[in-house]
Structure 1
Amino acid sequence: MRTVLLRGALAGASAGLLTSLFHLLLTEPVLDRAIALEGAGDGPVSRETQKYLGGPAGLVLFGIAVGLLFALTYRVLPSTATAWRKAVGLALGSWLVIALIPQLRYPANPPGVGDPDSITTRTSSYLLTYALGLVVVCGGYAALRALHRRGWSEPARQVLVVAGALVVVGVAYALLPDSGDAVEAPATVVWDFRIRTLAGLTLFFAALGAAFGGLTLRSERRRPRTDADERVPVLR
């Protein structure tokens, strides 16, 4: 278990560092434009410190935390897939829960956009999208395994599960409240920020899955397959 957790922390830190470089090069200029439009001065921490120290350090720490949770989930998740497919599949599921499903319903806004009085409502609504994503991904995974046990072909069960997930997400989106925020900033600034935010999350989970899967394959080549640290319980 310790080896798996260490692998997750290393993969998460690497993904966080890579994502911080992405945001430093592509997202920070958009943030600077948004802050300039807001007309806010420097706060207790200067923009330079936030940009070159706070942001990267925060993303690396975030990556380590997510990597540890990723490794723990990988360790206990029942699956007959190869190590690489399992890691990539888990990263895809995590991306759906944390990035795609919430961001499609409530896209991120740059600083200074939105009504400060609606923060509580927005936070509650955003947490609901996390719960929605978790239910959809876990339910979809359980459905895939159940259909597999019943002898359904891989294309048939994948099409059925994806179609069901789209219906559930669509209905939930319709029931969730709107953010209610008037976006007065230029559309180019807002959408540049939203696209880069989603792209950064996509990069993070792609890097996390690839790094963890690669490290796991490397470990399997160096150890016997019967090593207890690499065993994963399988539910049939």
Structure 2
Amino acid sequence: MTRILPTALVMGVIVGLLVAAYMNVFNVPVMEWAIALEGCDIDRAGCAAQLAAAEDEAPLPLSFLTSLGGQRIGMSVGLAVVGVLCAAVFTGLYHLMRNATPGWNPWAWAAVAGLLGFWGVSLYTQIKFPLNPPGIGSEGTLLARQGFQFLFIAVSTLSVAVVVYGVGVVNRTSAASGRWLRYGGIGFAYTVVALLLAFALPGVRDAAPDWLPPELTIMFRTFTAGGHFLLWMGIAFATIGYRYYRERDVHAYPQVSGLGPGHVRLIRCSHPLTR
């Protein structure tokens, strides 16, 4: 894991910036749409053209006047930080997958670890706490919403990690013929924990304002979930791909010189990604 972690953290920053570009292309226009609708509803109850004509008479909301260039930069920095955090979680899940399924190859470990991270950290959280465009929701419930979301993410991620660890225990201690029943028990236990988590924590959802079109919310949530999927899978495959690229000249049976003419010594070594 210590060999994968530095690479994963760097890839987290790079992939985070790439996903930020994706979000700027697809999600920022949706945010602009929401900000424009919010400005029209709050200040003049009219259209954007009317607001522009009346700008000298009364100030518009700060969110409406703020340069979206600054918001784009902030989104890029934020996703780079999120990429580092996701890379750390991915490294832990990759390590657990490697121990649980030693017969698999590194690409399979990375793919499953990325999918598990996407589910436990991103997708399941978005199902429980559906995202709205920035600025939508009461400021009085902001801390409660964020606190419950962080708690949900922590417990959900830990539950996924325990599932992978449990699969490893079954693989090491059970015969092949009796593993499927134990796999089913692990899956059932995780389902119970996931449902308890979903119903035990309050959602703290604020009602959407009347001026917010349903299609805007659907687009925002879809693009956000797609960005998170790209982030997790990008970190997974970029990390393993770079490790393979770095080790492309390392052979399974390298020759050792200095043994005298006519002598060749072969040393068996494992692939660095399996250590």
Q: Report the secondary structure of 1:221's partner residue.
A: coil
> Which residue pairs with 1:194 in the alignment?
221
TM-score normalized by structure 1? 0.82
CA distance in 2 between counterparts of 1:74 and 1:85 reads 10
Give the residue type in structure 1 aligned to 2:235: L
CA distance in 2 between counterparts of 1:155 and 1:14 reads 39
**Is 1:104 the counterpart of 2:127 in the alignment?**
yes
Given the alignment, which residue of 236, 239, 245 partners 1:212?
239
Post-superposition CA distance 1:102-160 (Å, at most 9, x none): 11100111122111101121112112211221232022112211222212467655554
Deviates more, 1:27-36 or 1:73-82: 73-82
- 1:131-150 aligned at under 5 Å gives the runs 131-148=154-171, 149-150=173-174
> Which residue pairs with 2:33 in the alignment?
33
Post-superposition CA distance 1:30-65 (Å, at most 9, x none): 1101111221445896212322x3322432343245
Change (3 A) 1:44 1:189: closer
Change (3 A) 1:152 1:143: farther
Structure 2 unaligned segments of length 5 or more: list them: 40-60, 253-268
- 1:1-236 aligned at under 5 Å gives the runs 4-39=4-39, 40-41=61-62, 46-51=67-72, 53-67=73-87, 70-71=90-91, 74=94, 79=99, 80=102, 81-148=104-171, 149-152=173-176, 158-184=183-209, 185-223=212-250, 226=269, 230=273, 232=275
Number of aligned positions between the proteins: 231
**Contact 2:12–2:87 (Cα < 8 Å) also in 1:** yes
CA distance in 2 between counterparts of 1:100 and 1:159 reads 23
Q: Which protein has the larger Cα radius of gyration, Structure 1 or Structure 2? A: 2
Fraction of identical pairs, as percent: 24
| RMSD, aligned CA | 2.9
CA distance in 2 between counterparts of 1:75 and 1:94 reads 13
Structure 1 unaligned segments of length 5 or more: list them: none
CA distance in 1 between counterparts of 2:5 and 2:189 reads 34
Post-superposition CA distance 1:155-208 (Å, at most 9, x none): 655554334322321222122213141111222112211121111111100111
Change (3 A) 1:77 1:180: closer
Deviates more, 1:81-90 or 1:221-230: 221-230
CA distance in 2 between counterparts of 1:95 and 1:142 reads 18
Change (3 A) 1:78 1:210: closer
The structure whose residues are more often helix, as a share, is: 1
* CA shift for structure 1 position 21: 2.0
CA distance in 2 between counterparts of 1:17 and 1:38 reads 28
